[in-house]
Amino acid sequence: MFVVDLAVSERVKRSGVTGKALDEAIAINHSLLCLGRVVATLIENQHGSGSFVPYKEAALTHILKAGIGGNSKTALIACVTQAVDSMSESVNTLRFAMQASHVKNEVGKKEAKDAQNAEAARIAEKGHMLTLTDGQGSVELSTGPMEVHGHWTGSGDKIVVLLPGLKVNPSNLKDLRAALAAKGCEVLVPKLPGTAEKELDADMKALIALFDWLGLAQPVLYGADWGAIRACKFKLLHPKRVKYLVLENRNAKMDEKTAKEAMRKGDMSIFGACFLWFFYGASPGSKDPPPGKNMSGWKWKTDFFWPCHNNGRPDVKQTGMIAKMGQMYIKIAKGTMIDSFSLSDEDIATRIASHCKA
Whether residue 328 is contained in a domain is answered as yes
Same domain, 171 and 266: yes
Considering the domain architecture, whether residues 169 and 266 belong to the same structural domain is answered as yes
Identify whether residues 174 and 96 lie together within a single domain: no
Q: Is 7 contained in some domain?
A: no
Same domain, 95 and 132: no
Phi, psi at 123, each rounded to 5°: -65, -45
8 Å CB contact between 307 and 344: no
Domain final residue, candidates 71, 105, 139: 105
pTM, two decimals, is: 0.69
150 lies in the same domain as 101: no
Give the domain CATH number at 87. 1.20.58.980
CA atoms within 13 A on the CB side of 113: 8
User: What pLDDT is recorded for position 294?
Assistant: 93
The answer as to whether 218 is a domain residue is: yes
CA-to-CA distance for 244 and 246, rounded, in angstroms? Answer: 7
Domain assignment present for residue 117? The answer is no
Note the pLDDT of residue 10.
Answer: 66
19: domain range?
12-105
Count how many domains the chain has.
2
pLDDT of residue 239: 95
Helix (H) or strand (E) segment spanning residue 151? strand 144-151
The Cα–Cα gap between 291 and 278 comes to 6
Surface-to-core class of residue 118, CB atoms within 10 Å of its CB (0-12 exposed, 13-18 middle, 19+ buried): exposed
pLDDT (0 to 100) of residue 99: 85
Note whether residue 275 is domain-resident: yes
pLDDT tens for each residue of the chain, 358 residues long: 888 887 766 677 777 888 888 888 888 888 888 888 888 888 888 777 777 888 888 888 888 888 888 878 888 898 888 889 888 888 888 888 888 888 888 777 667 677 767 776 777 666 788 889 999 999 999 999 999 999 998 878 899 999 999 999 999 999 999 999 999 999 999 999 999 999 999 999 999 999 999 999 899 999 999 999 999 999 999 999 999 999 999 999 999 999 999 999 988 888 999 999 998 766 676 777 888 899 999 999 999 999 999 999 999 999 999 999 999 999 999 999 999 999 999 999 999 999 997 5
CATH number at residue 168: 3.40.50.1820
161: in domain: yes
Together in a domain, 174 and 253: yes
In a domain, 113, yes or no: no
> 45 and 81: one domain?
yes
Q: What is 63-130 written as a DSSP string? A: HTTTTSSSSS-----------GGGHHHHHHHHHHHHHHTTPPP-HHHHHHHHHHHHHHHHHHHT----
Q: Looking at the structure, do residues 154 and 97 belong to the same domain, yes or no?
A: no
Q: What is the pLDDT, as a whole number, of residue 260?
A: 92
Considering the domain architecture, whether residues 226 and 313 belong to the same structural domain is answered as yes
User: In the listed set 74, 105, 136, which residue is the last one of a domain according to the structure?
Assistant: 105
* Residues 160 and 72 grouped into a single domain: no
Identify whether residues 164 and 51 lie together within a single domain.
no
